[in-house]
A = this chain, B = another copy of it.
Amino acid sequence: MRARDSDPVGTSDLVDAAADVLARLRERRPRVHCITNTVAQTYTANLLLAAGAIPSMTIAADEVAAFVSSADALLVNVGTLDDSRRAAIGLAIDAAADNGLPWVLDPVFVDRSPDRAGFAQALLAMRPTVVRLNPAEFSALAGGPPEPAAIDRFASGLHAVVALSGETDQVSDGARHAAIANGHRWMTRITAMGCAGAALVAACLAVEDDPWRATIAAHLVLGVAAERAAVVSSGPGSLATSILDALFDLDRKDLHERARVS
């Protein structure tokens, strides 16, 4: 964390905030509606359930607004972006706006499809609370490499929190910038890990008003769970399973012992 704002934040404070967020997830069990790609749906649902949240996933035009309206946060992932998903995304974002719900945009693979990149640009204009993306996706949308200052500018321009995934995750709201060095290298070999992480950000937004702290909390909780899980895993297959166990069981002490946020 680079202290560039007038209200500097201690890293221990951020870890405590993450533990508080996790406690509230388990107590309040927020509903998170996820419009996400078909590859990621099952793991995303299991990750949310392990953390305490309650997932729903429909993209049917007749019912998506009802689901979002009775939810506490929304995830919009643009993977496997067929016409039904495009239509559902519009309806879902409208319902989120009508109900004042926070929402997360995950512009997955926009670097592979110009059409998808154009669609994601239009979604950025609809004021997501958080945008979560990897370096290739950042470059496709922000027009340059993900240097810390560029991330801050991108966040400022969007009036959103930007979470850039990588060996070290970076979370910026334009004024505040944190770096989180938790996680495990096998996570990149598990499909939907990033997508499920973005859903966890949405869950945290449902129980924490400061979206920057909520986003950091999600990254710390998942990263520390992955490190605990790696101890009992033999590769990416068992890690995917063990992360769910670790997340279900994580406590404040784990977070303080392992969190690497700066």
A-side residues, CB < 8 A to B, are 37-43, 45-46, 49-50, 55-63, 66-67, 70, 79-85, 109, 112-116, 186, 188-192, 232-238, 240-246, 248-249
A82 near B67 with CB under 8 A, answer no
Contact A189 B49 (CB under 8 A): yes
Q: Do A112 and B70 form a contact, CB below 8 Å, given A42-B191, A50-B236, A57-B37?
A: yes
- Identical copies of this chain, number: 3
Q: How far is the CA of A232 from the CA of B85 in the complex (A)?
A: 39
**Which chain B residue has the least Cβ–Cβ distance from A88?**
B82
- 27 A-B residue pairings within 8 Å (CB atoms): A37-B57, A38-B41, A39-B41, A39-B57, A42-B42, A42-B191, A46-B189, A49-B188, A49-B189, A49-B191, A49-B236, A55-B191, A56-B109, A56-B112, A58-B82, A59-B80, A60-B85, A61-B82, A66-B113, A70-B112, A82-B84, A189-B248, A234-B242, A237-B241, A237-B242, A237-B244, A241-B241
The one of B37, B42, B56 in contact with A43, judged by C-beta atoms closer than 8 angstroms, is B42
Is there an interface contact between B238 and A234, defined as CB atoms closer than 8 Å?
A: no
CA distance A218 to B238 in the complex (A): 22
User: Min CB distance, A101 to chain B, in Å?
Assistant: 15
Do A60 and B42 contact each other (CB < 8 Å), given the known contacts A66-B115, A241-B237, A244-B236? no
Contact residues in B for A50 (Cβ distance below 8 Å):
189, 235-237
Among A37, A114, A248, which residue has the most Cβ atoms of chain B within 10 A?
A: A248
* B55 engages A79 (CB within 8 Å): no
A40: chain B residues within 8 A (beta carbon): 42
Partner of A245, one of B59, B60, B234: B234
| Contact across chains for A238 and B241 when beta carbons are under 8 A apart | yes
